[in-house]
Each structure stands twice: as structure tokens, then as C-alpha cells.
Amino acid sequence: MRHLLLPVTAALAFLSAPASALTFVEDVAQPLFFNGIVEGVTTPGLTASIQLTFTGFSGNDALFSYTLENTSSAPITGSRVSGFGFNVESAGFTLAGSQALTGPFDQVDSGNVPQLGSRDFCLTGNNCAGGGGAGVLLGDSANGTFSLRFAAPLATLDLRDFYVRYQSIEGSPDGTSGVGVQVRDPFGGVIPEPATWAMMIAGFGLVGAALRRRDGIARASA
């Protein structure tokens, strides 16, 4: 997975305490989109998204808010996002002291998610392996806040391998529970690297210049 080093001041209202110089290794300033996997099979229509916002430090606790949307659609007729999580790669992270502060997920778990293995941090209404009745139903969204505790203040925060957990799935032939892993856009494609964008833009410019030149030659010979 590609990792970007982004300043907190970049894109989509990443706010930090004035004294903080925190940067993020993984690009989490953009909305995070998730597919759906049931019994190892990617399930059409099973999707979700999370907008994550860093709001500053309180002591050694990094504070976040989030908006989670259950965006599942046909052929899925029902689903519930029962939790989400990620790996914390930065040194000094401790699960003890990290908290679910507000929102539908009131428990913090270390996670042991089927198909994905262990995760360092998970917010859930029951446990990260599924079950329980809490969560965000199809077509709904929810807001919440949480904190991550570290042994000392950070200059760089590395969060990776985001996922969501689905329960109560209806409309899938493969089962009623599953997971979703992060995809690069809501259609499951890959966002081009900055260098690729530059090459594409340059290519469009060359194509445009060639078309203008050809058009000019055609008019001159007419």
C-alpha cells in the first residue's frame, strides 16, 4: 500500500493544537471508502465510508472525530456497520487509555477480525469480531469521537489498514456478516500517483496541441 506524508494543515480540515507539528504517513484527510467481503468473496453493493478528522492533542492523547456512513445499495437490501478499526504503527501506542468518547461505538477493542487478522485499535458496540446489535444501518450515518493514547507526544502518526465490520447483511448469497477493507475510491479503483497525474495532464496537453496543429494544417490546405 502506498503511503503519503501529509501535513495536518492539508486538505479537508485537519486541525491540530497550535504547538503540534504532527504529520500523517497514511493519507486519512480524504474520505475513506470500503468494499464488502463476505466469506472471502467481494460482495457487490456492500460499502461504507468514513471521514476521519484529527482535532488535536490532549496531553499524550490524539483526539479524533469521525463520520461513518453505511452506503450499501442494491443488491444489498440490509446491512449494519458494527465497528471499524485500523493498525497503529507509530511507536508508543497503548490500547489502555485509548477511549471511545462519543458515538454509536462505545467500546475499544484490540480486534481479531476474521479474514484480516489482528488489529491494534477497533471501535465497536460489542466486539470487533462481530455480533451485538449496535451499529449504523443501511442508508444511515453516525458521528463520534475517540482518542488514541501514546507514551509521549508525536511528530508523526502512522495509521494503516483501515477496515469496517458488517453484520445483519441481507441480499448477499454468501452470508450475513463480513468485513470491508479500504479502497482508493468508491468504485474500487486506484487513485493515480501524483507523477501519474502529471504524465496524464502532459499527455492531454500534447494531444490537444497535435489536434490544434492538425486543424491548422487542414485549414491552410483548404
Range of the domain at 201: 192-222
Are 176 and 217 within one domain?
Answer: no
Give dist(CA 128, CA 120) in Å, integer: 11
Identify the pLDDT of residue 2.
39
Are 214 and 132 within one domain?
Answer: no
pLDDT band at 204 (very low <50, low <70, confident <90, very high): very low
| Phi, psi dihedral angles at 185 (to 5 degrees) | -155, 165
Are 196 and 182 within one domain?
Answer: no
pLDDT tens sequence across 18-33: 334 578 898 787 899 9
Closest to 191 (Cα-Cα) out of 33, 67, 42, 7: 33
Are 208 and 142 within one domain?
Answer: no
pLDDT tens sequence across 142-193: 999 999 999 988 889 999 899 999 999 999 999 999 999 999 765 544 444 3
More confident residue, 35 or 204: 35
Q: Is 19 exposed, middle or buried (0-12, 13-18, 19+ CB in 10 A)?
A: exposed
Are 151 and 116 within one domain?
Answer: yes
In a domain, 154, yes or no: yes
Whether the model clears a pTM of 0.75, i.e. scores above it, the answer is no
Closest to 114 (Cα-Cα) out of 69, 26, 178, 21: 178
In a domain, 1, yes or no: no
pLDDT band at 132 (very low <50, low <70, confident <90, very high): confident
Identify the pLDDT of residue 194.
40
Are 112 and 219 within one domain?
Answer: no
Mean pLDDT of 78-105: 94
Are 114 and 219 within one domain?
Answer: no
Identify the pLDDT of residue 125.
87
Distance set, CA 132 to CA 81, 107, 129, 168, 218 (Å): 11, 12, 10, 10, 71
In a domain, 204, yes or no: yes
Torsion of CA 168, 169, 175, 180, to 10 degrees: -110
Are 183 and 214 within one domain?
Answer: no
Could you give the number of structural domains in the chain?
A: 2
Q: Is 65 exposed, middle or buried (0-12, 13-18, 19+ CB in 10 A)?
A: middle
| Residues sharing a CB contact under 8 Å with residue 202, sequence separation 6 or more, in sequence order | none
Are 219 and 129 within one domain?
Answer: no
In a domain, 177, yes or no: yes
Identify the pLDDT of residue 41.
93
Closest to 125 (Cα-Cα) out of 111, 142, 141, 105: 105
- Supply the mean pLDDT for the chain: 79
Q: Report whether pLDDT(94) > 50.
A: yes
Identify the pLDDT of residue 181.
93
